[in-house]
């Protein structure tokens, strides 16, 4: 495998850009950041100065720069399609913040464009890269717990009204929805990667009196998995002051709780094991209150996948699964019916 550095261009300097910048500065052994671009020149310049990056002046400058093999898109979902078209046509591999787009149909279009132009597409769903997540996935693959009988997914996060007062936030036009596609998507993707696909859902999604916003801030649902397990889901941004998200698996040989960065296993022989360490999750009023290590691991994985010409851990095609689940949950709530995923 080649060990040459990958030239990277970064587009976007909003709230989600900080962990990317910190990670990129830690990955100088494999990455050469060629510059950062934002439509807001003042914010671009301040961000570049803060993280010691060069600045780029236009999208065209990025697409025409042969030294840039990879771009990182940190823009709102509604600003990505045209960027993906231009960069993929120019042969740039694309790493993009979640979600892929605002709906599954639009997300599929982006995935298809990248596949047609033979460039890699990765999605930033960094919860898969936590030490505790990797450990749990390995144990399940080894069938250490036996069959999984039931699943409890709880995402009791908090956002105050000022968060939704930002223009476009929580709207269908910019974000594609509310708590599911903007916050819970991380835990739902992790759930699918660990347990497998959901077969059916029955859900209720509402906007509570806590927030003035267009889309949902609370969702509750029943889940039926393809492996035969049943489950429950609660996701909200109405749980003050915000608590760690968790996935609980009730299995044949043990009960398992994955909470933020920690994994606790209660074996039925009364043995207890714990892995990982407690960390911030972004579940409180500060959405960015979490370490950047997971971003670092994800960006490293995507960069090495370019050098090895192999799919990254969270490819665009892989990330479509969580989009399909979110669409089914919203459809179930709108129609008041059980929906197949």
Comparing 36-50, 63-77, 202-216, 285-299, the range with the smallest average pLDDT is: 285-299
pLDDT at 4: 81
Four-residue CA torsion sign, 194, 195, 196, 197: negative
Q: Work out the average pLDDT over 205-214.
A: 98
Q: Among candidates 218, 204, 219, 214, which has minimal Cα distance to 173?
A: 214
Mean pLDDT of 272-277: 90
Instruction: With beta carbons less than 8 A apart as the criterion, state whether 317 and 111 touch.
Output: yes
Listed by start position, the domains of the chain span: 6-127+294-314, 128-286+322-340
Residue 148 neighbours by CB under 8 Å, 6+ apart: 140, 195, 225, 227, 229, 249, 250, 251, 252
The model's confidence at residue 288, banded by pLDDT at 50, 70 and 90, is low
CATH H-level, domain 6-127+294-314: superfamily: NAD(P)-binding Rossmann-like Domain (3.40.50.720)
Q: Average pLDDT, stretch 90-113?
A: 97
The pLDDT score that the predictor gives to residue 115 is: 97
Confidence of residue 1 (pLDDT cuts 50, 70, 90): very low
Superfamily name with CATH number, domain 128-286+322-340:
Dihydrodipicolinate Reductase; domain 2 (3.30.360.10)
pLDDT of 85:
98
- The tens digit of pLDDT for each residue in 42-75 reads 999 999 999 999 999 999 999 999 999 999 999 9
Residue range 105-142, pLDDT digits in tens:
999 999 999 999 999 999 999 999 999 999 999 999 99
The residue whose two tokens read 């510059």 is 35
What does pTM read for this prediction?
A: 0.94
> Which SS3 state, helix, strand or coil, does residue 115 take?
helix
């Amino acid at each position: 495998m080649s060990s040459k550095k990958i030239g990277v261009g970064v587009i976007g300097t909003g709230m989600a850009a900080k962990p990317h910048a910190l990670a990129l500065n830690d990955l100088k052994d494999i990455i050469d950041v060629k510059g950062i671009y934002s439509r807001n020149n003042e914010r671009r310049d301040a961000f570049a100065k803060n993280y010691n990056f060069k600045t780029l002046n236009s999208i065209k400058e990025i697409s025409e720069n042969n030294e840039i093999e990879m771009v990182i898109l940190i823009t709102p979902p509604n600003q990505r399609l045209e960027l993906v078209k231009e960069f993929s046509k120019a042969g740039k591999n694309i790493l993009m913040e979640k979600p892929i787009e605002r709906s599954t149909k639009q997300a599929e279009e982006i995935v298809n464009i990248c596949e047609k132009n033979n460039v890699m597409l990765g999605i930033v769903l960094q919860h898969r890269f936590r030490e505790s997540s990797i450990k749990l996935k390995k144990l399940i693959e080894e069938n250490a717990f036996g069959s999984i009988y039931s699943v409890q997914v709880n995402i009791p996060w908090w956002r105050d009204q000022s968060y939704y007062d930002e223009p476009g936030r929580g709207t269908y036009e910019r974000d594609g929805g509310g708590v599911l596609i903007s916050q819970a998507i991380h835990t739902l993707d992790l759930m699918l990667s660990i347990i497998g696909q959901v077969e059916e859902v029955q859900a209720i999604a509402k906007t509570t009196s806590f927030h003035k916003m267009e889309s949902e801030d609370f969702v509750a649902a029943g889940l039926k998995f393809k492996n035969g397990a049943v489950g429950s889901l609660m996701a909200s941004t109405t749980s003050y002051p915000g608590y760690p998200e968790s996935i609980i698996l009730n299995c044949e040989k043990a009960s398992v709780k994955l909470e933020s960065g920690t994994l606790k296993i209660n074996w039925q022989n009364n043995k207890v094991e714990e892995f990982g360490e407690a960390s911030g999750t972004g579940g409180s009023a500060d959405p960015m209150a979490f370490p950047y290590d997971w971003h670092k691991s994800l960006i490293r994985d995507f960069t090495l996948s370019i050098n090895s010409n192999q799919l990254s851990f969270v490819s665009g095609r892989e990330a479509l699964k969580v989009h399909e689940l979110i669409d089914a949950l919203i459809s179930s709530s709108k129609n008041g019916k059980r929906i197949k995923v």
